[in-house]
A and B are shown apart, each in its own frame.
Chain A
Amino acid sequence: KAGVTQTPRYLIKTRGQQVTLSCSPISGHRSVSWYQQTPGQGLQFLFEYFSETQRNKGNFPGRFSGRQFSNSRSEMNVSTLELGDSALYLCASSSGLAGGQSSYNEQFFGPGTRLTVL
């Protein structure tokens, strides 16, 4: 089974520009979550999409947005880039379906897109 793929792997942009990142989940997975990771920081949750609907959202400004297509592929967009947006952006896929009240499906991460804003 192919893993989670993210494109591009590296990106350099300048302040004020916008960027779109792409994530293709594992076949059959309907949930895609996006995270921002900066050096020395943990995983900051951006949002989660399930069956083309945003199901959860973290505490990021509206410049960060996303969408999910009918084939479960997801895109994340950041507009008006700031220097502080430089980070590793990770997406994770899962089935998104809790197997009862006491379990939660593991997340499979992609290799990430490293965004540098100059």
Chain B
Amino acid sequence: GQQVMQIPQYQHVQEGEDFTTYCNSSTTLSNIQWYKQRPGGHPVFLIQLVKSGEVKKQKRLTFQFGEAKKNSSLHITATQTTDVGTYFCAGPMDSNYQLIWGAGTKLIIKP
């Protein structure tokens, strides 16, 4: 069936280092969404990418959608403690409105 794979599962970084999470879909996606879930919180929508090769920036966060619309990435430059949480990608199934979610990447700042 249609799947969205997300790696890595965890990433430990020193504050100030960069962070990247990747999503790969088994099929072409019409769009991809990114969400952030803080510890103890609920997922919050960050952004949606729709166009092939699209790149969007939100301050230190850079989101990319692959040319083939089968992969996407989120890159955070110079991480801060406020970036801690789990980042999820999600894309719609071909046949209906259901979103398929990646397993998430947990960003951990080393003490």
Report A's interface with B, CB cutoff 8 A: 31, 33, 41-43, 45, 48, 50, 55-56, 58, 90, 92, 96, 98, 101-104, 106-112
Contacts and interface: CB of A to CB of B under 8 A. Distances in A.
Interface of B is mostly: loop
A45 B42 contact: no
A106 B35 CA distance: 10
B58 to A, nearest CB: 14
18 contacts: A42-B101, A42-B103, A45-B98, A45-B99, A56-B98, A58-B98, A92-B43, A96-B97, A102-B30, A102-B51, A104-B30, A104-B33, A104-B92, A104-B97, A106-B33, A107-B45, A109-B43, A109-B44
A112 B37 CA distance: 12
Interface in B9-58: 30-31, 33, 35, 41-45, 48, 50-51
